[in-house]
Amino acid sequence: MPLTLLLLPSLIFLIAVFALPLIRYVWLSFHADSVMTGLLAIPNQGANWQRFIHDSRYWQDLFQTLRFAFVSVTAEVVLGFIIALILNQPLRKRALIRSSSLIPWALPTTVMALGWRWIFNTPYGPIDRLIQSGLGRPLNALGEPSIAWITTVYADIWKTTPFVALILLAGLQTIPSDLYEAAKLEGAGPWICLRRITVPLLLPYLGLALMFRLAQAFGVFDLVQVMTGGGPASSTESIALYAYWNALRFLDFGYSATIMIGSFVILSSLIVIAWVVISLARNRSAGAFAK
Amino acid sequence: MVPIIIIASILFGLSVVARQPDHVSILMPAPFADSTVDLVKSFNQQHHGRIHLNVIRGPLETEAISDLAISSLLLGDTPFDGLLMDVTWVPKYAKAGWLESLDNYFSNNEVSALASGASEGNHYQGSLLRWPLTADIGLLYWRTDLMDQPPRTPQELERISQKLQSSGRVPYGYVWQGRQYEGLSCVFLEVIDGFGGEWFSAESGQIGLDKPAGLAAAQWLDGLIQRGVSPRAVTNFSESEALQSFKSGQAAFMRNWPYAWAELQKNDSQVKNKIAITTMVAQTGHQPAATLGSWGLSLLRGSAHPESTVEAFKFLTSEESQRYLYSQYGYTPTQKAIFNDQDLLKKHPSLQSIGEALAYARSRPETPVYAQVSDVLQRKLSGTLTGMTSPTAGMQQAEQSTIQVLEAAGAAP
């Protein structure tokens, strides 16, 4: 019996939960299926896609979602790396420090989003109070389109940096300490060790963290929904929020499916590009390490 | 012996089945479920063995309860018999085919006993689809310790505010709901109508945003922030923030719903016994408008016990229940008779002002695509209020986007 046959059960499972809904969405994106059609799917000759291409709101949301994802994930990786390096040191009460650093990540997103909404609240939140006593005027962070998105990024960094740190910490622990000892004997300082040993060997874990985080950040929903509801002036609206509104609030399933499939295509091509770039970088640094 | 036992137990089982009461379940937002606990208890006592009413406590927020109801309705068989619905959902749910007509259950007399205002927003395309539990209307709260008479026009409101602010008696003049959400649409509806315009008419398809009254309304709201009559933070205010601000004595005026009255009369309120209510300001020559935000009970299609469900509706909305809900929880009654109840008026003088304001109740556009239409307005208005666009550009874009939304939905008349 060929071994590939053994994969069949999991393949069937994957098709059922992954491919079928996707095919259904593609089919739906070529139909009008909304409250106005009595929730019946009626073919509409690609009208959804016409609308999608010209939907300036979608492209604004895409930009905002990408901005959110890149800024927050970059910050999380940098901070997470630093935190992982610290947690990897032989500290006193290390177990306690390690587990307590995970608290933000363990909190449900909606709960912490509600918390941040009140912390940033004008005029009752503590941050606004502080700024008002310093600047003399309130910050109004959640009411200004130019800064509201930064508060959502901030809340996301606060919540998910521990997750990145955890993955990177696991990576750090796989690096054998004799590598560092050998490098030290050769006269390498801490900076060289970090650049030549830690970072290259951590790259697979970094890639893993990036994959997880980017996929999650592109689909950001609950955080934004609770903190700002997409406002002010839709400056924090994400793709997932827009698709959700179309489906559940507007009862326009045809267009909602179009947004999902459109975003799926755009984002998966972005991830493929990112993956290629990362593998190229990994190969190059692996080559450098071999030298 | 054995067959006798079997037959006896079958007969016993049948008699138990025959005596099973109708189980009726109604989904309500949490605050309503909490305030109707005692009513449900007495309903179940009175109908013991015949009907058992079970109110399901849903989420707190209006939109969250709609999402929950819609998610279960989409799956086919409804797990609920009745749903407590916001006024803006009726056309959408009706068009989706989720509601059962109540025409056969309520007589014309019963319909005409409803107070004007409370009778609106229950019908779609001629059939009665919702029976009102409580009427809710937008009101202007004002401070009796700062002025003798409330303002009647937008200009007066601004003048009084600025005078009070410059003399240092209040930091802000007027607080309202400026966050990008449904509350902003409610605020705007009152202002555009007060300027003699109309946001959107579902019958004629006329959009009034990029018209003189629409522009004036957007300019006035924007000007309130620009000129410091309203705090900048109003662009992120929902009802609760406005209430907190007014309650702590920070403002001379507030736009809010009737529920705020009870909150403001609590002991921790800085403005206890210093407030009164009236209708929203309007330009001279135009009638004031109060956005209707009522809640009502709808029978869901597929309910196994429609008669029993309607019986529960009638009990929950009876005069006696309404009197109870008003005096205990401040729920605005929907029946004319209660507004003329002298005993109640003596105990709650504010009931008269609410009754008067109810006469000016205005529904939001009654269309199945209301959610889209309102969403467009909220986004563009929020853009204007936060300085992203001018009021003129904002209203132009809002009108254009509304046309696009209607066309895309196939709802353009």
Contact A34, A254 (CB under 8 A): yes
If pLDDT is split at 50, 70 and 90, which confidence band does A128 have?
confident
A248/B71 Cβ within 8 A:
yes
Please tell me which of the candidates B233, B382, B408 has its beta carbon nearest to residue A138. B233
Check residue B408 and give its pLDDT. 86
Query: Which stretches of chain B score pLDDT less than 70?
Result: 1-19, 411-413
Instruction: Calculate how close chain A gets to B32, using CA atoms only, in Å.
Output: 22
**Where are the domains positioned within chain B?**
21-135+293-353, 139-291+369-409
- Identical fold for domains B21-135+293-353 and B139-291+369-409, yes or no, is yes
For chain A, the maximum distance between any two Cα atoms, rounded to a whole number of angstroms, is 77
DSSP codes, A183-226:
HHHTT--HHHHIIIIIHHHHHHHHHHHHHHHHHHHHT--HHHHH
Give the closest-approach CA distance of B110 to chain A in angstroms: 31
* Closest chain B residue to the Cα of A234, Cα to Cα: B379
The 3-state DSSP class for residue B299 equals strand
Interface residue of B92, B98, B236 to substitute, partner A, most A CBs within 10 Å: B236
Inter-chain CB proximity B383 and A143 less than 8 Å: no
Q: pLDDT (tens digit, 9 = 90+) per residue, A44-84? A: 999 999 999 999 999 999 999 999 999 999 999 999 999 99
Would you state the structure tokens that stand for residue B1, as one six-digit string?
């012996």
Residue A143 pLDDT grade (very low, low, confident, very high; cuts 50, 70, 90): confident
- Phi then psi dihedrals of residue B48, to 5 deg: -55, 130
Which of chain B's residues have a Cβ under 8 Å away from the Cβ of A229?
A: 179-181
CB–CB contact A140 B233 (8 Å): yes
**Is residue B92 within 8 Å of residue B370, measured between CB atoms?**
yes
Give the pLDDT of residue B17: 52
Burial class for A193, CB neighbours closer than 10 Å (0-12, 13-18, 19+): middle
Distance CA B249, CA A21 (A): 55
What CATH code is assigned to B21-135+293-353? Answer: 3.40.190.10
Query: Do B72 and B80 touch, CB atoms closer than 8 A?
Result: yes
Token pair for A119? 């912390």
Chain A residue with minimal CA distance to B380?
A233
State the pLDDT at residue A291. Answer: 47
Residues 64-123 of B with CB under 8 A from A: 66-67, 70-71, 74, 92, 95-97
Angle formed by the axes of helices A145-174 and A56-87, nearest 10°: 40
| Measured distance CA(A243)–CA(A224) in Å, rounded | 13
- Interface test with chain B among A31, A53, A132, A249, by most B beta carbons within 10 Å: A249
* Residue of A34, A45, A222 to mutate for B, most B C-beta atoms under 10 A: A34
For residue A126, count other CB atoms closer than 10 A to its CB.
11
CATH classification code of A3-290: 1.10.3720.10
User: How far is residue A221's CA from residue A109's CA, in Å, rounded to a whole number?
Assistant: 10
Residue of B nearest to A249 (CA): B371
User: Quick check: A266 and A219 in contact, CB under 8 A?
Assistant: no
Judge contact between B298 and B130, C-beta under 8 A: yes
User: Which residue among A140, A234, A245 sits closest to B236, beta carbon to beta carbon?
Assistant: A140
- Lowest model confidence (mean pLDDT) among A142-156, A266-280, B373-387: A266-280
Share above pLDDT 90 across residues of chain A, in percent, rounded to a whole number: 59
Top-level CATH class of B139-291+369-409?
alpha beta
pLDDT, position B12: 53
Of B132, B120, B186, the C-alpha closest to B359 is B120
* Closest Cβ–Cβ partner in A57, A232, A250 for B236: A232
CB of B156 closer than 8 Å to CB of B282: no
Chain A residues with CB-CB distance to B97 below 8 A: 38-39
Encode pLDDT of B72-102 as tens digits. Answer: 898 877 889 999 999 999 999 999 999 999 9
Q: Does B407 touch chain A (CB under 8 A)?
A: no
Which of chain A's residues have a Cβ under 8 Å away from the Cβ of B374? Answer: none
Q: Give the pLDDT score at A286.
A: 65
Ranges of each domain in chain A: 3-290
B400 at A interface, C-beta within 8 A: no
d(CA A4, CA A25): 29
Site from B70, B379, B380, B401 to mutate, A interface, most A CB atoms within 10 angstroms: B379
**Chain A nearest C-alpha distance from B388 (Å):** 8
SS3 B86: strand
The Cα–Cα gap between B295 and A79 comes to: 49
Contacting residues for B32 by C-beta, under 8 A, at least 6 apart: B84, B133, B295
User: For B404, what's the count of Cα atoms within 13 Å in the CB-facing half-sphere?
Assistant: 18
pLDDT value at residue B308: 96
Cβ B52 vs Cβ B25: under 8 Å: no
* Residue closest to B221 by CA, chosen among B386, B388, B402: B386
Residue B160 contacts residue B252 (beta carbons within 8 Å): yes
Where residue A1 falls among pLDDT bands split at 50, 70, 90? Answer: low
Tokens of B152: 């009647």
Whole-number mean pLDDT of chain A?
90
Closest among B125, B31, B14, B43 to B317, alpha carbons compared: B43
Could you report the predicted ipTM of this complex, rounded to two decimals?
Answer: 0.84
pLDDT in tens, A168-181: 999 999 999 899 99
CA distance A233 to chain B (A): 4
- Chain A: which residues have CB within 8 Å of chain B? 32, 34-39, 51, 57, 121-124, 138, 140, 142-145, 229-234, 245, 248-252, 255
Residue type (1 letter), A185: L
